[in-house]
Structure 1
């Protein structure tokens, strides 16, 4: 049997781009647009569930309405040589008439011929170093501030040393 075409319009339609640095949560937004005259149930799945938080990860989109889904990549040590194969799948089906009591039961009982899906790959982008000195400096400063605060509590003399060193490094850049 032929696969049903996806009724939702996805923006972006084939890949989610995450722009580093990846030291904090990085969010990519996925817009789901329902151009039909029927309500559509959706569910977002991933090949790497521990690396992402998706909100909302399922729901109902009324006719002619849209919804934005936030896909949040958890912090990690980025390695450009590592091949990324993370993918997302947006599964959809037309909502049954009447009240939906349980999305979970609805998805469990749906027959495969009533499902539609779209797949998106993940792309990790690290800003080029030479063009983004400010981004790198901010990341270093954030790390330095956290470290300095910890050191200040542990050893006030060492904190003064770090503070003096940071100032002298900043002065040499000018």
Structure 2
């Protein structure tokens, strides 16, 4: 086995072997890579990419002590559109090299990873994989109302049973502009008031007086009418000259 192959298998273990991003238009996405130092030496690493303006890597350099690990996070900036067929051609390069015992990040220089420096540099290329987000719960129209797909609802119920926690919807808040609307009980009271007779109410004695006044007025009107008829009749009976 060659020295380069031994060094390559012993310096760093990289997991996973690809950068996988959940892609959504106009949203950032991140993933993490773990570097494990399998050697008995201090190892420096550096992360490069073919699209430096598109990604943010933290940290992009570091020192890993013997038998220790280090994670770095890659964030893909929000994109305006998805690439054709969700295929991304971007690549990442992880460079690593053995450094003196006790080295720190302040000791790292770009010359450490230069191929003409005479140092042994191990390079590992990682490709970018884009995945689509999981589908949201399907809403089916039932009697004009959108309701969740029974299969999704059943799955949610199982999750509730497993976790023992149920998401209870917050109490409905009455908006400021509808606070004046009456409740059902208040509306019933209003209807009851609407059906009450608004005419004045008299007692029995008052009704008798009213009745007598009405009868007197009717009798008087009747006598006046008879008198007018008699006068008219007399006028008609007078002989003409």
What TM-score does the superposition give when structure 2 sets the normalisation length? 0.49
Distance 1:18 1:105 in 2: 28
Distance 1:78 1:12 in 2: 23
Which residue of structure 2 aligns with residue 173 of structure 1?
A: 146
Name structure 1 gaps, 5 residues minimum: 138-170
The 1:10–1:102 alpha-carbon spacing in structure 2 relative to 1, beyond 3 Å, is same
1:73 maps onto 2:46 in alignment? no
Which residue of structure 2 aligns with residue 126 of structure 1?
A: 132
Distance 1:48 1:105 in 2: 19
- CA RMSD between the two structures: 2.8
1:90 maps onto 2:94 in alignment? yes
3-state SS of the aligned residue for 1:114? Answer: coil
The 1:87–1:56 alpha-carbon spacing in structure 2 relative to 1, beyond 3 Å, is same
Which residue of structure 1 aligns with residue 108 of structure 2?
A: 103
3-state SS of the aligned residue for 1:132? Answer: coil
Name structure 2 gaps, 5 residues minimum: 148-241
Q: Give the aligned length.
A: 136
In terms of fraction of residues, the more strand-rich structure is: 1
Deviations along 1:17-40, whole A, 9 cap, x unmatched? Answer: 101224322111000000111110
The 1:92–1:132 alpha-carbon spacing in structure 2 relative to 1, beyond 3 Å, is same
Conserved? CA contact 2:12–2:36, under 8 Å = yes
1:11 maps onto 2:18 in alignment? no
Distance 1:118 1:55 in 2: 18
Structure 1 position 82, deviation (Å): 5.9
Structure 1 position 92, deviation (Å): 0.3
Conserved? CA contact 2:97–2:113, under 8 Å = no
3-state SS of the aligned residue for 2:112? Answer: helix
What TM-score does the superposition give when structure 1 sets the normalisation length? 0.67
Deviations along 1:31-74, whole A, 9 cap, x unmatched? Answer: 00001111100000000101100000001000011011001111
Conserved? CA contact 2:12–2:35, under 8 Å = yes
Deviations along 1:89-129, whole A, 9 cap, x unmatched? Answer: 100000124545531255266625510111100011113xx
Distance 1:133 1:102 in 2: 48
